[in-house]
Amino acid sequence: MSWKDRFKDQVAVVTGVAGAEGIGFATARRLVQEGALLAVADISDLVFARAEELKALGGVAGGGNGGKRDAPAADRVRAFQEDLSHPEGPERIAAQMIKDFGRVDILINIAGMAIMGGPGEVFKTVRELSEEDWEFTLRINLKTTVTCTRAFLPTMIEKGYGRIVNMSSVTGPLVSNPGESAYSAAKAAVAGFTRALALEVGRQGITANAVAPGWIHTGSSTPEEQAGGKNTALGRTGTPEEVAALFAFLASRDASYITGQLLVIDGGNVIQEYKGPSELYY
């Protein structure tokens, strides 16, 4: 089996795909190109546009299509507009995917940080942070991961196989910034949740890991974030496609003996003590 068939006959769900230049859509694109039957989910109605783009990519059809390469594009991709922080949304997705394909093998929880076309990331000091700010940040960055995981775990346990890959960050588990206390708390909690989950489900054929990106150039990147990327060990920001490659690896059978881990993808930024312009030190 070639790498292009890596996810043939596997059923995957990716959340947080609304942004055309984001990590979620890049990950969904990679899975479809490698043969997965896929559901994409987001709170934004842009999920439907992203799904149409994914359908145009082709790929290897599997699962409910019997592994036929010529299966209609509509049979390979499903789109769901749901508020993933409420249990009813993920449960509806899980029920439909099980009805259509009999199971879900892969869950990739990327939804978080901000709502496309809605509130952005909260940057406030601890003193300024309102109860609503705190609740909102934890809801979209932590609760979405928990509710989706709980919705899809039963089918994975029943089938004795699953790959769960969560979006954490270097911000929180390893480093932080002023004004990001709520975000840092949420992403650190995702890492802790992933470790506990890995211990609970490992002997049932399920792995759980988290990805911790650093400076990645997405559609929402700021000039300050671009400057941060230029001062990494590799001297540039990362790309959504590079992060998607890590998500895809952890979602694959090749990652069968990796679980409970937080994998950093940040161009070597966190290994540096000095993070200013290299010409002033290196």
**Mind telling me the catalytic residues?**
183
Give dist(CA 13, CA 49) in Å, integer.
Answer: 17
**Per-residue b or e along 141-171, where b marks 16 or more CB atoms closer than 10 Å to that residue's CB:** bbbbbbbbbebbbebbeeeebbbbbbbbbbb
Give dist(CA 279, CA 70) in Å, integer.
Answer: 54
3 state DSSP class of 42: strand
* Residue-range definition of the domain harbouring residue 119: 3-280
Q: What pLDDT score does 70 carry?
A: 46
Q: What pLDDT score does 164 carry?
A: 99
Q: What is the CATH number of the domain that holds 264?
A: 3.40.50.720
Q: Rounded to a whole number, what is the distance in angstroms from the first to the last CA of the chain?
A: 45
Report which DSSP code applies to 143: I
- Cα dihedral across residues 224, 238, 82, 141: positive or negative: negative
In order, the DSSP letters of 87-115 are THHHHHHHHHHHHHHS---EEEE---SS-
Q: What pLDDT score does 73 carry?
A: 52
Residue type, 128: E
Q: What pLDDT score does 118 carry?
A: 52
Bridge-partner residues for 40, per DSSP?
14, 79
Residue by residue, pLDDT tens for the chain (282 residues) are 456 789 999 999 999 999 999 999 999 999 999 999 999 999 999 999 999 999 998 643 333 333 334 455 557 899 999 999 999 999 999 999 999 999 999 999 999 876 555 556 788 999 999 999 999 999 999 999 999 999 999 999 999 999 999 999 999 999 999 999 999 999 999 999 999 999 999 999 999 999 999 999 987 788 888 899 999 999 999 999 999 999 999 999 999 999 999 999 999 999 999 988 888 877
Q: CA distances (Å), 172 to each of 6, 182, 242, 248, 262, in order?
A: 32, 9, 21, 23, 12
Closest by CA position to 166, among listed 202, 190, 185, 136 = 190
Q: What pLDDT score does 129 carry?
A: 93
Q: CA distances (Å), 256 to each of 22, 167, 259, in order?
A: 27, 19, 8
Tell me how many domains the chain contains. 1
